[in-house]
Amino acid sequence: MTRPSPWWDPHRHADRRPALMARNRITAALRAHFAARDFVEVEAAALQVSPGNEAHLSAFATAMIGADGAAHPLYLHTSPEFACKKLLAAGEDRIVSFARVYRNRERGPLHHPEFTMLEWYRACAGYDVLMRDCADLLALAADRAGARRFTHRGKEADPCAEFERITLAQAFAERAGIDLLATMAADGTTDRAALAAAVGAAGLRVAADDTWADLFSRVLVARIEPHLGIGRPTILCEYPVSEAALARPSPRDPRVAERFELYACGVELANAFGELTDPVEQRRRFESEMAEKARIYGETYPIDEDFLAALAVMPEASGIALGLDRLVMLATGAPRIDDVIWTPVAGGDR
């Protein structure tokens, strides 16, 4: 098999350059958009004591050598989220970050080990406001790329169309015939046996060691995500509280959380939370996730105690993380995320 030319080959660079220049225009426009709305742009340190505490998130580990020669373990952050929430606790009320972030075990058409995460936070605002923010940003990106539609591998979406909004419960019922909420108790406790029976009846594989979360993810990936954001962007909201991550429970139904994800062309673009500010509950979730990580991968990450302390004084807020590279990819019609990154990490040539 002929090896492709490197990204710096003049001919290949010439092919990539239009999308890269569109990236610059989009980034500049997004910065101006947030500045015009009184957001303060902040920079989070990439080196953190914890890279995050999600079971399936893998980080790059390093060490800081002190003046005494002792090594102190650190990680490249997988998101600027912890740092941004500390800034909310410090008194900032409207912030945005264009952060270089790092995730291990991830490389493919939609994943790159180093990428740009656009995150913004609004103190004292509900997470519905973030949905309106997303509508503005998608239209702006399309305009700067000169695109009437987002495209990806044969799928299209009109970035200026009114977003579809669907709950997880609706999606499971419509796409898989599963009553998701019936597998959850009033307090959000999950019933693995009930979901396993429903997943099997829907024609999907069920393994003996599958957890409720495993089954939930299998249905989401196989039956739901491929249909999201087709024709117009989709907001997938009201995640089960067991999948809330750092989102607070909904005051309307404690079985679900104030969490949504944004999709276009079947591609996940953003993940948003009405932020949890209860450090006790957040610690419980982190410890549960790390127990699962230990079971699957044989490793865990430390909990950032400083972050939990900040949560106790952080105001109510909403925040969202949007993959800038994926947004550019859809706006330019690029088939792979590497095509819209100026200097891709070595080892990924196709």
Q: What's the whole-number mean pLDDT along residues 268-293?
A: 97
What does the buried/exposed string (b/e) look like for 242-280 if buried means 16 or more CB atoms within 10 Å of the residue's CB?
bbbbbbbbbeebebbbbbbbbbbbbbbbbbbbbbbbebe
Q: What is the DSSP string of 4-55?
A: PPPTTSHHHHHHHHHHHHHHHHHHHHHHHHHHHTTPEE----SEES-----T
Residues 88, 317: Cα–Cα separation, whole Å:
8
pLDDT at 350 over 60: no
Rounded mean pLDDT, 50-78: 95
Locate 168 and state its tokens: 């997880």
Positive or negative torsion for Cα 118, 124, 130, 136? negative
Per-residue confidence (pLDDT) for residue 5, from 0 to 100: 87
Between the alpha carbon of residue 256 and those of residues 174, 222, 240, 284, the distances in Å are 18, 21, 4, 17
How does strand 40-41 pair with strand 94-102?
Answer: parallel
Mean pLDDT taken over the chain: 96
Confidence (pLDDT) at 1: 58
33, 149, 114, 115: which is closest to 325 by C-alpha? Answer: 115
Does the pLDDT of residue 48 top 90, yes or no? yes
Q: Residue 29: is its pLDDT beyond 80?
A: yes
Strands (E), 221-349: 234-237, 259-264, 267-274, 317-323
For the segment 299-319, the average pLDDT, to the nearest whole number, is 97
Percent of the chain scored above 90 by pLDDT? Answer: 97
Read off the pLDDT of residues 130-139 as tens digits, 9 standing for 90 and up: 999 999 999 9
Q: CA 99 to CA 111: how far, in whole Å?
A: 16
pLDDT value for 3? 75
Count the alpha carbons within 13 Å of 173 in the hemisphere toward its beta carbon. Answer: 10
Q: Return the amino acid letter for 44.
A: A
- Return the ∠ at Cα 39 (arms to 114 and 258), rounded to 5°: 70
Nearest to residue 100, comparing CAs of 120, 130, 80? 80
pTM, rounded to two decimals: 0.95
Whether the per-residue pLDDT at 306 is higher than 70: the answer is yes
Burial class of residue 26, CB neighbours in 10 A (0-12, 13-18, 19+):
buried
Q: Which is nearest to 167 in space by CA: 238, 234, 259, 224?
A: 238
Q: What is the mean pLDDT of residues 213-217?
A: 96
* Contact assessment for residue 240 and residue 180, using Cβ atoms and an 8 Å cutoff: yes
pLDDT tens-place string over residues 106-161: 899 999 999 999 999 999 999 999 999 999 999 999 999 999 999 999 999 999 99
Per-residue pLDDT at 348? 63
Angstrom distance (rounded) from CA 6 to CA 255:
49
**CA gap 94, 37 in Å, rounded:** 9
Average pLDDT, stretch 287-300? 95
What does the alpha-carbon distance between residue 93 and residue 38 come to, in Å, rounded to a whole number? 10
